[in-house]
Structure 1
């Protein structure tokens, strides 16, 4: 028996360095992967208000604004003011993109409806982000509530509130999750257009892992999720979209999904089943393209997508003056064609 024990101890001593190397290697890969997915790649904006003004004959007056998030961090966004007392719409982009991906849609929304439009950069996104890392939706939802509070502080030159009582939220993927979660907590959010809605922050995380690695793997997903929970700590909350969607009673909801984002189609359709019966739901789950790819779409495809979103907010939040929608929409599309 003692001889057997000695052999086992010798074997363990021989294997220990190999085990330690494996642990270090797994820990290193996990740390690298977690850092990569929580710090999305930063690119220059596709377009800015200044560039748009130079290339267009319109006197666009979008401004750069900053405000404070609930956790004390800073937020930024472009603001395009609408009519006094009109609703406001916040546009929320997908993981790995930035506010400029939704710039054309926001300009067209403003011109077609005269609503105030705000484009925030979500955490960890955009050139030189003010908050360096994403939380995959939990903190972003809190930031959306802060953005709504910021809109409430806006005043006209006469000192009256600029934004009326109704708020609309548009979001794609990460932005859609944040919009739905924030909308469920703020009754002033009356209309939500949600495109390619993830079932949870973990779903966004898994998609990010697959994007960085070039393939999907259950073990990598497990390592990434465990490492992200440790790294983000309280900033990571994996609440399911269906759980808080049940609080969207009486809201106007537009759900969009398509074959170009098949990963999110089933979760978007599932969300439709989670909404309360009192929700006024419009579902389109077979679109030729979604907000994830509309920035690279042809003029005709992009027009059809933008028109659907604009008409939804126009119908559910307010009614513009006769002829305003068609005239301004044609003008926006014409300018986009020239660019």
Structure 2
């Protein structure tokens, strides 16, 4: 008996360090995957207002703006002022993109409606971002609330509030998660256009990890989800499914868009359509080719048709 006990203790002493190393290695790998994916690869803006302004007098009116967030960080965005007391629309890009991806839409929306248009960079996105880590829709939703406050505090030349009572919001992929989260908490968001909506932040993270680390994607996605428990210990990561968030949104105008170019998000967006209460008014187009997820690769005709669909939606939703 004593010999057996000593044998078990010896085996335990041998295995415990190895098991500990395995646990540390798994945790370290999980945290690294989240850390690296939360810092999107940096790219230059597709186009800037300065360059666009050489072709469009309206684009030349775009200004660089910044404002404070609730956590003490700062956000930045391009602003196109509209008519006094007209509605405003916020445009949010997808993960890995930046505000330049919605600049053309923003300029055309402002030209067509005279709405004020704000085009922010999401956290960790754009050139020289002010915040280095993205949170896949969590803290970004809090930042969006600060963006709304910024719009409401804008003044015209007579120091009277510029923006009217109605606000619209558009988002693609991660931007869509931000938009739906904001709309669930802010009744002034009257029109919501969502394109390629992930099921939740885990779905967005999985897609981002798969794209960045395509080898053994099943394992890396599982590790990354585990890593969020450690990396976002402060609660910035939002785990609520988009469907649950949608159930609290009532009496709004909603447009859902998706396409075959992002089939996983096409499926999740289609399912999301069933989650909103019936008090909302809907416009759905879930078979686009391409959707806003890949609109930068579309032809000029496809891009113009996509933009016009959104312009018509916001005009009809915010002025009636």
Please give the range of the TM-score, normalised by the shorter of the 2 chains. Answer: over 0.9
Q: Report how far residue 6 of structure 1 moved.
A: 3.0
Q: Report how far residue 14 of structure 1 moved.
A: 3.5
Residue correspondences, number: 319
Cα pair 1:209 1:216 within 8 Å, conserved: no
The 1:295/1:59 distance shift into structure 2, 3 A limit, reads closer
Cα pair 2:66 2:75 within 8 Å, conserved: yes
Where 2:60 maps in the other structure, the secondary structure is coil
What is the aligned partner in structure 1 of residue 175 from structure 2?
Answer: 175
Give the CA RMSD over aligned residues: 1.7
**Superposed, which structure 2 residues align to 1:1-339 within 5 Å?**
1-56=1-56, 60-215=60-215, 217-233=217-233, 234-318=235-319
TM-score (norm 1): 0.89
Where 2:168 maps in the other structure, the secondary structure is strand
Partner Cα distance (1:58, 1:189) in 2: 25
TM-score (norm 2): 0.94
What is the aligned partner in structure 2 of residue 336 from structure 1?
Answer: none
Q: Report how far residue 222 of structure 1 moved.
A: 3.2
Cα pair 2:59 2:107 within 8 Å, conserved: no
Q: Report how far residue 57 of structure 1 moved.
A: 5.9
Where 1:84 maps in the other structure, the secondary structure is coil
Q: Report how far residue 61 of structure 1 moved.
A: 0.8
Cα pair 1:64 1:77 within 8 Å, conserved: yes
Cα pair 2:258 2:286 within 8 Å, conserved: yes
Gaps of 5+ in 1: 320-339
Partner Cα distance (1:247, 1:11) in 2: 55
The 1:59/1:35 distance shift into structure 2, 3 A limit, reads closer
Cα pair 2:58 2:107 within 8 Å, conserved: no
